[in-house]
A and B are shown apart, each in its own frame.
Chain A
Amino acid sequence: MNRRLLRQALPFISLAVVLIATFIVQPRTMSYFGLNLMLQYAVPIALATIAQMFIITVNDLDLSIGPFVGLVSCIGATLLLDNPALGIGALAVLIAAYGAVGALVHLRNLPSIVVTLGLSFVWLGIAVLILPSPGGKAPVWLKAIMSVQIPVVPFPIVAAVVIGVVVHLALMMSSYGVIARGAGGNPKALTRAGWSMLRTKIIMYMLAGFFGVLSGLSLLGLTTAGDAHVADRYTLYSIAGVILGGGEFIGGRVSPMGAVVGALTLALAGSFLIFLKISPDWQIGAQGAILIIVLALRALVTYGEQKR
């Protein structure tokens, strides 16, 4: 039982370790301003991670979330700025498209990896058509939201906690969240109980699309200009965040709080590596190493659990 607790605590422990290491290397980050600066990009990453988590919950994988977030940022910096109604309409169409992908994957029994890998180029293509080179401008209200100053606790931390708690309530506590996770655990059992797998998948994919849109908009609020390639790394970040947070690729085992913490850890790890003066060329590799260490620890804990 203790080991299970340990396993659930692992994402939080990892975050604490990276945080403490950062404080030691660069004590000046241990301040309201420092944390704010270091963690601001954690918000869009956390939202993309949650989007990915909805897909992983139903045993699929979304390889298109990064370019999708980029596309949203391009739409936000152009359409949404010039014609808010049209912009919102376009984002709604994107979410509906995600639902359609879910339906396609389920009905044709296609591997989601292949479908979303193909889609990633579609998203990127549309984004480049809209905004051939980085540019445009973020709507004022978006910038305002992303630069909110909250007393005592930095905004990114508050935002991360809110995202985590809301999704936790919806997915882990609510009666419909049970159906969503059950769809990942044993789809057959769900069908036998009279639930529609098609509907469940469409809803989960649309939720992923919705959080992808939120991620793109929040990123735009920070960068203030649109860029088709701005979030290319998010695909891997989001998958890594879910897994770091204690989720598993199949079986409907996910943890929203863990996923958010995983996203924070990845964002922090980036800053930490910069403070260590590791060249950006090596950063991806170093982040990969952090990921491997955490997963190895988890495997050790799980191994002990099974041996018991």
Chain B
Amino acid sequence: MSSDSIRLDGVEKSFGAVRALAGVDLHVAAGECLGLVGHNGAGKSTLMHVLSGNLTPSAGELSVGGAKITGNWTAAAAQASGIRCVFQELSLCPNLSVAENVRIVHRSLKGLGWKKRASDLIRAKLDEIFPGHGISPEDEIADLAIGKRQMAEIARAFTVTDGPLRLVILDEPTSSLDAVTAEQLLAYVKTETARGTSVILISHLLGEILSTSDRIVVMKDGKTVAERKARDFSRNSLVAAMGSEAHERRQATAKILGTDVPVLVKARPKTGGSTALEARKGEVIGLTGLAGHGQTRMLLQIYSRDHADVKGAISFIAGDRQSDGIFNLWSIGRNITIRSLKALRKGGLIDLAAEEKLAEDWKTRMAIRTPDVNNNILTLSGGNQQKALFARALGSDAAIILMDDPMRGVDIGTKQEVYAMIRAQADEGRTFIWYTTEIDELSHCDRAYVFRNGEITASLGHDDLTEEKVLQASFAETAA
């Protein structure tokens, strides 16, 4: 291939004894969209960090635009060669405005009037990718919801000043986007590749990989194990190539509850509307609709028992792991047991043996992949960190579990394990209220409420939880 935008030959990277990349050969042609899939821990993130210059490979060659890189490969060098990265955990400065964040990646935005140029640049790009985005360049990142932050970061990656734009790497770009904005992004990826820019798309959502990519590379254990044109892959063959034992299984029927089953949660959104949410013992209730339309606020309202009728202890599983979920200086075990410390008391002190037992017990039940629960939580991959958060909630005495889009950026294998666990726990009588941005996940719910502008606009039964009906309800005009 002559028009290689970027090429890796035998790239290796080791962290101590762990071999994250074991000789990767990869090339992306100009104007190509390459889909990259694999389980968490397959080496995709390491590969991205190598490409973006944040990690120096232990061995192997890297060439950009046909020229072999001989000097030091740094983040600045990668930027200068036109390689941009949208990382899974966002790389925006929360204390700066959207426009100021644009300045950080563009060295040429300086001198008089730089702010106006930066604002114009990002506004135009946001308008192009996400029409109707509702983001102002003056908005401070900290004030934006996570979905909008992701939109801002994606748009920033595609902005062009003086240097070339060669390759944009998108790592789970749709994880916090709702169905509509995700669709807008994927459409834009096609436009952008038609202009000659290369895109590497990393996603756990196989549907978007299959529909958007030209070619798909499957990674496993730090190596590329399969590579084919996207049209030669199907969902099943892709899953098979990733070596996943899990299969997407739709839950056939919803649970039929007798009238004697008690209602544990009853709450009407404070933000408006007359419809109230109701959850009965043992139910799995979905919250859906476009992202940021009041679902998280509903969960917080229930959690704080603010204008909500709640019977039973509550536990909350955060989706924004980094900021709301984990204690990143603590061990895995302590991260699991923090919710249950009250129950672990013995004579005013924490019973260390019981704490250890609880952590070990849930490590096994959730299949958290670690040799020792006393390791720091950050030694786990993202998916396993999320499992630890599930263990924290499920190991507690909570009867009601609130979930705030907890599966962001979690691989399919892990998801399947967690879905099964939720179902089993619901059968034992726990109630789940589950905000999800992935319509596929609603199939695991007994019922779901659709939110729009802070109101509940529809309540759908299990059989109505199809993409079409959910989208319809998300956009339906609310009756006055």
Contact = CB atoms under 8 A, between A and B. Distances in A.
B95 A251 contact: yes
A181 interface: yes
A166 to B, nearest CB: 17
Contact of B104 (A182, A184, A251, A253): A182
Contact of B91 (A179, A188, A251): A188
A35 B76 CA distance: 51
A151 interface: no
Interface stretch (B109-117, B244-252, B406-414, B471-479): B109-117
A191 B92 CA distance: 11
A193 B75 CA distance: 6
A191 B54 contact: yes
B94 A186 contact: yes
B91 A178 contact: no
A29 to B, nearest CB: 38
A74 B93 CA distance: 41
A193 B74 CA distance: 10
B436 interface: no
Interface in B74-112: 74-80, 85, 87, 91-96, 100-101, 103-105, 107, 109-111
A194 B91 CA distance: 12
Interface string A185-198: 11011111111000
Interface in B192-210: none
Interface string B45-68: 000000011100000000000000
Contacts of B76: 194-195
A192 B109 CA distance: 17
A1 to B, nearest CB: 10
A182 B96 contact: yes
Interface in A167-223: 173, 175-176, 178-179, 181-182, 184-186, 188-195
A192 B54 contact: yes
A194 B111 contact: no
A192 B75 contact: yes
Contacts of A179: 103-104
A252 B110 contact: no
A264 B337 CA distance: 48
B85 A192 contact: yes
Contacts of B74: 194
Nearest to A186: B93
Nearest to B100: A178
B95 A189 contact: no
Nearest to B97: A178
A186 B92 contact: yes
B96 A181 contact: yes
B306 to A, nearest CB: 10
Nearest to A182: B93
B374 to A, nearest CB: 23
B95 A195 contact: no
A120 B88 CA distance: 42
A182 B100 contact: yes
A193 B153 CA distance: 12
A178 B104 contact: yes
Name the interface size band of chain B.
Answer: 20 to 34
A175 B110 contact: yes
A192 B87 CA distance: 10
A195 B85 CA distance: 15
A126 to B, nearest CB: 36
Given A175-B103, A186-B91, A189-B91, A194 B78 contact: yes
B93 A192 contact: no
Contacts of B52: 192
Given A192-B52, A194-B78, A194-B79, A178 B94 contact: no
Contacts of B85: 192
Contact of A175 (B53, B91, B105, B111): B111
Contacts of A190: 93, 104
Contact of B95 (A175, A184, A192): A184
Nearest to B80: A194
B114 A175 contact: yes
Scoring A189, A190, A195 by chain B CB atoms within 10 A of each residue's CB, the highest score goes to A189
A192 B91 contact: yes
A61 B78 CA distance: 33
A6 to B, nearest CB: 15
A175 B117 CA distance: 11
A181 B103 CA distance: 12
Interface in A222-254: 251-253
A190 B114 CA distance: 18
Nearest to B79: A194
A259 B54 CA distance: 36
Given A176-B110, A193-B104, A185 B87 contact: no
Contacts of B80: 194
Interface in A9-31: none
A59 to B, nearest CB: 11
Interface string B391-432: 000000000000000000000000000000000000000000
Nearest to A179: B104
Given A175-B103, A175-B111, A194 B95 contact: no
Contact of A193 (B79, B94, B100): B79
Contacts of B54: 191-192
Contacts of B105: 193
Given A191-B75, A192-B87, A252 B95 contact: yes
Nearest to B90: A189
B95 A181 contact: yes
A178 B96 contact: yes
Interface of B: 52-54, 74-80, 85, 87, 91-96, 100-101, 103-105, 107, 109-111, 114-115
Given A191-B54, A194-B74, A194-B107, 13 more contacts: A173-B115, A175-B103, A175-B110, A178-B96, A178-B104, A182-B93, A182-B100, A185-B94, A185-B95, A186-B91, A186-B93, A194-B76, A194-B79
The 10 closest A-B pairs by CB, nearest first: A194-B76, A185-B93, A185-B95, A175-B110, A189-B91, A182-B93, A194-B75, A186-B93, A252-B95, A194-B79
14 contacts: A175-B103, A185-B94, A185-B96, A186-B94, A189-B92, A189-B104, A191-B54, A191-B75, A192-B54, A193-B75, A193-B79, A194-B79, A194-B107, A252-B93
